[in-house]
């Protein structure tokens, strides 16, 4: 027995030592990593908070459990055993309590109690230390300077202090349950409770002890009732989110009554220490739970008799609170609502006035485009494009929308024979460069025109990529050693490879026995300890996945799903939008993610070569980010400190806009009566892609908003009435300049039908010429893919544009084959956007622009012009009239402007052409 105890003790010591070494190793690695990035203060403040919370909670839990347990040991001594003699002495089996009593003083009760208390307290403390952010926010919260209408408290109390008090309430209950469990186990083991009798026999000492614990439980209930008053603003009955009429007249005062009754019940339980019976504890329970039950029964009666017969009038003030505070919490209270009458008429001239909008209509859908990029530009099997980003660059002083993707290196794609430790961690360390193309053009084969391509990067538009190395990106983390004895693979060049050494300062120094030992244990990789390639100056780059990187530096920030790559000052940078969120904003409706407050407070910039990470505050009026700035001084920078060229690439984040649009679909209704009846609910429109129906996602476009003078970069999304497909409005968020973040709603007239994207898609599918062409392509071993159907507001009209791609049935190279456009009652398909728009407005301004053949290719403009000249010559006795000769020049100029994308010049020349031709060029 003694040998077994010794072995068990040794095993326990070894296990504790291993846990200690693992924790210490992780902390040291974290310390070095945070220090290398310049965020040592973040690490120390967070660690200090966790340790302080752990120690305090452990001491409280240990003291409570140990004190109660030791008291139970003392009160259940042999002299204090049950007052009755068991009536079953003839039973021969030995029970655990009998065995323990037989051992007598040889059982180290005090040691057992202290040990059990210490272990259980660790679980409580560890759980609570994980909520360090709740504690830090509670003690550093910045007020919102807005009071809730029900209790007159600052909103900051609900965001920062209420979660803290809820945490303490739950901790109180956890410690109380653990204490009661240990105490009851001791009384049972030492014979103070006998469950073999009916009813169970309980000693007087145990009854007194249980009375004290029950009194503490009622104190916890009193605390719970007090907090439940504020939680009334955070629940819903389906009509109102937050405190409502029945809460105001019943539960708000009723919970105060329950607080008082719970305190009375606690006092009754304490009084039972002297009486040591069941009468007083039962009375205490009745004092608290019977009134609570009565109020629970009163609630449906009040709702049925007073609320339901006149619910709108009764709940109206609470509905107003719900509407106003939800709009404020989601930052949609400042949406600028403008009418969109839709009475405009598009002509080549109006298109010319919006040339920037037309020039930047996006014809490439990110979904098929990534497959095209992969086929054309991955170059080698180990390179990978993970995502296609959309951004804008200033080329020749024009804001131009482009699509781009980072060429990352995925070591998992190396051949199995090349999956060596040296290749994975020393040789293949980084991706290389990017691919970029405009959103609106294609080459003669239907492939994107590449602005930046190949390895090393080659740019046709003057965008310099001097440092194309991608050591940090979106792929899963894989640590690498740089500045080692052997050079790294840099990029492929023909049949050979180019090798180089890392020239940055990223990562953590790894040379030296102690550091190598630390990282070898951290990664459970002995190669780090025995390799000869690590030399003085070598560095280890880890946590290279940018999402994981930001999450470790700032776990209190939620991240957007789409980090995007930016070329800046010759280098590559990732920009990640992050959010501060809460689920405790009073009266604000929770969304499907469970939150009811959100701000796009921080823009994070990560250098793809060095890993340097900067946090820029984008919303300095958000009290939540101001609180974190107070907790971590010096960590966050002002957005104005971001380099000016980099700041031109920030955009309104898609996730934030989606959440706002989803909420606005209901909460654009500000009239309580309309809101109550849900008379004007909106939803997102549907679209088809790859034979599947999905909800349309927001899309970035460069366009001139109605009533504005200049085109700008915006994020927009059409809206449709719930359950219907026609458009009712469209929302937009500005991305440029000082007006960044300004939200618009362009509200359609309800007296006119505006086709929604799904309806336009149906019209396209029903067009006999287009559907016939679909069938021909599909029968020829190709697969037709329809891209994003974009709704483009131009002046006071809507233009619908959809790209069409063709991919071989067994291929992975989609090509942009046609562009479909729809306006009014016309839908046409052409080889490119220019010819499609010319065909769409055929017959306007008394001209005959290029048209679309019904089953064949688009007619060439030169052919049409020659036919017109021939016809006119015949009508004038073989002579070419001067008007037609002049029209030839006009038409040539218009065609040149069309191909150059100069819609202003195109519209002007078309008008002059129409005047020159007169009746000759009119439709017959």
Q: Summarize pLDDT for 210-239 with one digit per residue, the tens.
A: 999 999 999 999 999 999 999 999 998 888
State yes or no: pLDDT of 121 exceeds 60: yes
β partners of residue 782: 808
State yes or no: pLDDT of 322 exceeds 70: yes
| pLDDT for 529 | 94
pLDDT higher for 842 or 772?
A: 772
Please give the Cα distance from 620 to 617 (Å, whole number): 6
Q: What's CA 550's distance to the chain center, in Å?
A: 13
pLDDT bucket at 788, cuts 50 / 70 / 90? confident
Contact 227, 172 (CB under 8 A): no
| pLDDT for 863 | 41
pLDDT higher for 251 or 903?
A: 251
Mean pLDDT along residues 124-144: 96
State yes or no: pLDDT of 277 exceeds 90: no
| pLDDT for 750 | 79
590-594-596-602 Cα dihedral, nearest 10 degrees: -150
3-state secondary structure of 612: coil
Contact residues for 127 (Cβ-Cβ < 8 A; gap 6+): 174
Q: Residue 812 corresponds to which tokens in the numbers above?
A: 């992975």
Biggest alpha carbon distance in the chain?
A: 136
pLDDT bucket at 278, cuts 50 / 70 / 90? confident
State yes or no: pLDDT of 80 exceeds 60: no
Of the listed ranges 108-112, 350-354, 683-687, 914-918, the least confidently predicted one is 914-918
Contact residues for 411 (Cβ-Cβ < 8 A; gap 6+): 382, 419, 423, 424, 428, 478
**Which stretches does DSSP call E strand in 156-311?**
193-194, 201-202
| pLDDT for 907 | 62
| pLDDT for 855 | 32
Q: Which residue has the tokens 């290029």?
A: 850
State yes or no: pLDDT of 709 exceeds 90: no
| pLDDT for 417 | 93
Please give the Cα distance from 493 to 455 (Å, whole number): 8
Mean pLDDT along residues 90-110: 61
pLDDT higher for 842 or 662?
A: 662
Q: Residue 313 corresponds to which tokens in the numbers above?
A: 């009038």
β partners of residue 703: 712
Mean pLDDT along residues 691-706: 89
pLDDT above 70 covers a percentage of the chain that reads 87
| pLDDT for 86 | 43
State yes or no: pLDDT of 164 exceeds 50: yes
Contact 218, 264 (CB under 8 A): no
Please give the Cα distance from 489 to 491 (Å, whole number): 6
Question: How distant, in Å, are the alpha carbons of 336, 560, 734, 777 from that of 744?
Answer: 5, 22, 8, 41
Please give the Cα distance from 369 to 600 (Å, whole number): 29
Q: Phi and psi (nearest 5°) for 716?
A: -135, 160
State yes or no: pLDDT of 691 exceeds 80: no
Q: What share of the chain is helix, strand, coil (3-state, %, to 5)?
A: 50, 20, 30
Contact residues for 110 (Cβ-Cβ < 8 A; gap 6+): 70, 73
Mean pLDDT along residues 3-11: 80
3-state secondary structure of 541: strand
| pLDDT for 911 | 64
Q: Phi and psi (nearest 5°) for 256?
A: -65, -40
Please give the Cα distance from 456 to 800 (Å, whole number): 39
State yes or no: pLDDT of 62 exceeds 90: yes
Helices (H) and strands (E) counted in the chain, each on its own, are 29, 34
Q: What is the CA radius of gyration of the chain?
A: 37
State yes or no: pLDDT of 8 exceeds 90: no
Please give the Cα distance from 542 to 480 (Å, whole number): 7
Q: Residue 672 corresponds to which tokens in the numbers above?
A: 């309580």
556-561-567-569 Cα dihedral, nearest 10 degrees: -10
Closest C-alpha to 665, from 597, 589, 595 = 589
| pLDDT for 183 | 94
Of the listed ranges 185-189, 304-308, 454-458, the least confidently predicted one is 185-189
Please give the Cα distance from 894 to 51 (Å, whole number): 74
State yes or no: pLDDT of 292 exceeds 50: yes
| pLDDT for 136 | 97
User: pLDDT for 662-675, tens place per residue?
Assistant: 999 999 999 999 99
pLDDT higher for 318 or 922?
A: 318
State yes or no: pLDDT of 13 exceeds 70: yes
Please give the Cα distance from 228 to 232 (Å, whole number): 6
pLDDT above 90 covers a percentage of the chain that reads 70
Q: Residue 242 corresponds to which tokens in the numbers above?
A: 């937050």
User: pLDDT for 568-619, tens place per residue?
Assistant: 999 999 999 999 999 999 999 999 999 999 999 999 999 999 999 999 999 9
| pLDDT for 693 | 87
| pLDDT for 349 | 83
Please give the Cα distance from 405 to 395 (Å, whole number): 18
Closest C-alpha to 817, from 825, 807, 827 = 807
State yes or no: pLDDT of 850 exceeds 50: no
β partners of residue 821: 801, 828
| pLDDT for 920 | 39
Closest C-alpha to 854, from 914, 776, 917 = 776
- Class of residue 470 by CB neighbours under 10 A (exposed 0-12, middle 13-18, buried 19+): buried
pLDDT bucket at 328, cuts 50 / 70 / 90? very high
DSSP string, 714-775: EEEEEEEETT--S--EEEEEE-SGGGTT-EEEEEEPTTS----HHHHHHHHHH-HHHHHHHH
Contact residues for 336 (Cβ-Cβ < 8 A; gap 6+): 742, 743, 744, 745
User: pLDDT for 150-162, tens place per residue?
Assistant: 999 999 999 999 9
User: pLDDT for 339-358, tens place per residue?
Assistant: 988 777 888 888 888 888 89
Of the listed ranges 335-349, 386-400, 524-538, 902-916, the least confidently predicted one is 902-916
| pLDDT for 89 | 43
State yes or no: pLDDT of 837 exceeds 50: yes
State yes or no: pLDDT of 26 exceeds 70: yes
3-state secondary structure of 450: coil
| pLDDT for 353 | 82
Q: Which residue has the tokens 């009745």?
A: 286
| pLDDT for 917 | 55
Closest C-alpha to 697, from 682, 723, 715, 681 = 715
Task: Please count the CA atoms within 13 angstroms of the CA of 102 that sit on its side-chain side.
Answer: 6
Angle subtended by helix axes 40-75 and 109-129, to nearest 10? 150
User: pLDDT for 508-554, tens place per residue?
Assistant: 999 999 999 999 999 999 999 999 999 999 999 999 999 999 999 99
State yes or no: pLDDT of 847 exceeds 60: no
486-495, long-range: CB within 8 Å, 24+ apart, which pairs? 486/422, 486/426, 486/427, 486/533, 488/426, 488/427, 488/428, 488/429, 488/430, 489/427, 489/428, 489/429, 490/432, 491/432, 491/433, 491/455, 491/456, 492/379, 492/380, 492/455, 493/455
Contact 26, 522 (CB under 8 A): yes
Question: How distant, in Å, are the alpha carbons of 213, 226, 257, 264, 505 from that of 260?
Answer: 19, 10, 5, 6, 63
Contact 369, 403 (CB under 8 A): yes
**Which stretches does DSSP call E strand in 583-662?**
597-607, 613-617, 636-638
- Looking at every residue in the chain, the average pLDDT score rounds to 88
């Amino acid at each position: 027995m003694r040998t077994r105890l010794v072995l068990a003790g040794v095993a326990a010591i070894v296990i504790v030592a291993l846990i200690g070494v693992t924790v210490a190793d992780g902390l040291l690695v974290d310390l070095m990593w945070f220090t290398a990035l310049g965020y040592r203060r973040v690490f120390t403040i967070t660690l200090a908070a966790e340790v302080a919370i752990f120690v305090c909670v452990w001491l409280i839990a240990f003291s409570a459990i140990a004190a109660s347990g030791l008291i139970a040991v003392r009160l259940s001594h042999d002299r204090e055993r049950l007052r009755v003699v068991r009536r079953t002495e003839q039973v021969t089996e030995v029970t655990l309590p009998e065995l323990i009593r037989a051992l007598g003083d040889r059982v180290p009760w005090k040691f057992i109690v202290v040990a059990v208390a210490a272990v259980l307290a660790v679980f409580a403390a560890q759980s609570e230390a994980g909520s360090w952010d709740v504690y830090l926010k509670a003690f550093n919260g910045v007020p919102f300077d807005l009071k809730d209408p029900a209790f007159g408290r600052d909103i900051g109390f609900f965001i920062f202090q209420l979660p803290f008090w809820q945490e303490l309430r739950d901790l109180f209950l956890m410690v109380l349950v653990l204490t009661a469990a240990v105490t009851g186990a001791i009384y049972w083991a030492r014979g103070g409770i006998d469950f073999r009798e009916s009813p169970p026999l309980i000693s007087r000492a145990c009854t007194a002890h249980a009375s004290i614990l029950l009194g503490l439980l009622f104190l916890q209930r009193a605390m719970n009732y007090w907090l439940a008053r504020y939680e009334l603003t955070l629940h819903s009955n389906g009509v109102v989110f937050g405190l409502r009429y029945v809460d105001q007249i019943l539960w708000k005062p009723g919970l105060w009554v329950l607080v008082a009754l719970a305190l009375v019940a606690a006092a009754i339980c304490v009084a039972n220490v002297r009486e040591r019976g069941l009468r007083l504890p039962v009375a205490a329970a009745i004092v608290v739970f019977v009134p609570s039950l009565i109020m629970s029964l009163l609630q449906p009666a009040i709702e049925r008799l007073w609320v339901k017969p006149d619910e709108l009038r009764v709940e109206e003030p609470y509905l107003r609170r719900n509407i106003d505070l939800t709009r404020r919490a989601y930052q949609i209270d400042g949406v600028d609502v403008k009418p969109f009458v839709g009475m405009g008429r598009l002509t080549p001239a109006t298109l010319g006035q919006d040339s920037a909008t037309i020039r930047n209509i996006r014809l490439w859908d990110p979904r098929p485009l990534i497959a095209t990029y992969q086929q054309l530009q991955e170059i080698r099997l180990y390179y990978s494009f993970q995502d296609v980003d959309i951004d804008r660059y200033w080329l020749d002083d024009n804001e131009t929308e482009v699509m781009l993707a980072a060429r990352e290196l995925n070591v998992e794609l190396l051949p199995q024979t090349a999956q060596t430790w040296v290749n994975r961690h020393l040789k293949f360390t980084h991706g290389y460069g990017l691919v970029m193309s405009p959103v609106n053009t294609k080459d003669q084969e239907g492939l994107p025109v590449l602005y930046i391509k190949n390895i090393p990067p080659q740019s046709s538009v003057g965008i310099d990529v001097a440092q194309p190395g991608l050591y940090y990106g979106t792929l899963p983390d894989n640590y690498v050693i740089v500045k080692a004895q052997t050079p790294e693979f840099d990029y492929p060049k023909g049949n050979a490879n180019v090798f180089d050494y890392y020239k940055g300062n990223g990562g953590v120094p790894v040379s030296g026995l102690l550091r190598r030992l630390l990282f070898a244990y951290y990664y459970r990789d002995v190669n780090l300890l025995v390799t000869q390639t690590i030399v003085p100056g070598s560095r280890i780059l880890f946590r290279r996945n940018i999402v994981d990187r930001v999450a470790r530096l700032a776990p209190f920030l939620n991240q957007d799903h789409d980090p995007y790559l930016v070329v800046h000052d010759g280098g590559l940078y990732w920009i990640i939008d992050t959010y501060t969120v809460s689920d405790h904003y009073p009266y604000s409706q929770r969304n499907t993610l469970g939150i009811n407050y959100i701000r796009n407070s921080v823009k994070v910039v990560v250098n793809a070569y060095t890993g340097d990470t900067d946090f820029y505050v984008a919303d300095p009026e958000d009290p939540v980010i101001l609180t974190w700035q107070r907790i971590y001084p010096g960590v966050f920078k002002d957005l104005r400190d971001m380099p000016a060229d980099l700041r031109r690439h920030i955009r309104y984040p898609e996730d934030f806009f989606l959440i706002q649009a989803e909420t606005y679909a209901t909460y654009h209704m500000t009239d309580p009566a309309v809101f109550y009846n849900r008379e004007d609910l909106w939803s997102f429109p549907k679209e088809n892609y790859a034979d599947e129906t999905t909800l349309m996602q927001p899309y970035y476009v460069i366009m001139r908003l109605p009533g504005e003078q200049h085109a700008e970069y915006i994020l927009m999304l059409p809206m449709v009435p719930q359950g219907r497909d026609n458009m009712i409005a469209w929302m937009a968020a500005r991305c440029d300049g000082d007006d960044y973040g300004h939200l618009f709603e362009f509200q359609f007239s309800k007296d006119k039908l505006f086709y929604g994207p799904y309806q336009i898609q149906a019209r396209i599918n029903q067009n006999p010429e287009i559907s016939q062409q679909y069938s021909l392509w599909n029968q020829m071993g190709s697969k037709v893919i329809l891209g994003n159907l974009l709704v483009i507001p131009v002046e006071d009209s809507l233009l619908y544009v959809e790209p069409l791609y063709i991919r071989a049935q067994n291929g992975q190279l989609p090509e942009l084959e046609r562009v479909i456009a729809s306006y009014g009652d016309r839908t046409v398909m052409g080889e490119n956007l220019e010819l499609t728009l010319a065909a769409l407005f055929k017959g306007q301004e008394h001209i005959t622009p290029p048209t679309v053949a019904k089953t064949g290719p688009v007619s060439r403009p030169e052919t049409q012009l020659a036919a017109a000249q021939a016809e006119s010559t015949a009508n004038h006795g073989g002579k070419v009239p001067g008007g037609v000769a002049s029209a030839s020049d006009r038409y040539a100029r218009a065609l040149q402007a069309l191909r150059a994308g100069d819609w202003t010049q195109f519209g002007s020349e078309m008008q002059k052409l129409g005047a020159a031709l007169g009746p000759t060029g009119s439709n017959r």
